[in-house]
Amino acid sequence: MKNRLKVLRAERNWSQADLAERLDVSRQSVNAIETGKYDPSLPLAFKIAGLFGLTIEQIF
C-alpha cells in the first residue's frame, strides 16, 4: 500500500524513532510501513491519521 508517511514525517523534521515513539511502535515498524512492506492495522492507521490531523485516505 502506497502512503505519504515518510513525507509527512519529514515535513515535521521527525526521525523514524520520533514517529515510532509517538505511535508507541518500534522504529522498524515505521520503516516497514513507509517502505510498503507492512500495512498497519486499522487501529494503528487511525492513530497515524489522528497524529497528523488527516484522514486515513489522505495518508494511505
Structurally, at CATH architecture level, domain 5-55 sits in Orthogonal Bundle (1.10)
In this prediction, residue 1 carries a pLDDT of 74
Nearest Cα residue to 14 out of 44, 47, 52, 43? 52
Structural domain boundaries in the chain: 5-55
* 3-state SS class at 4: coil
pLDDT in tens, the chain (60 residues): 789 999 999 999 999 999 999 999 999 999 999 999 999 999 999 999 999 999 999 999
Q: How many helices (H) and strands (E) does the chain have?
A: 5, 0
In this prediction, residue 37 carries a pLDDT of 96
In this prediction, residue 24 carries a pLDDT of 98
* Contact assessment for residue 16 and residue 30, using Cβ atoms and an 8 Å cutoff: yes
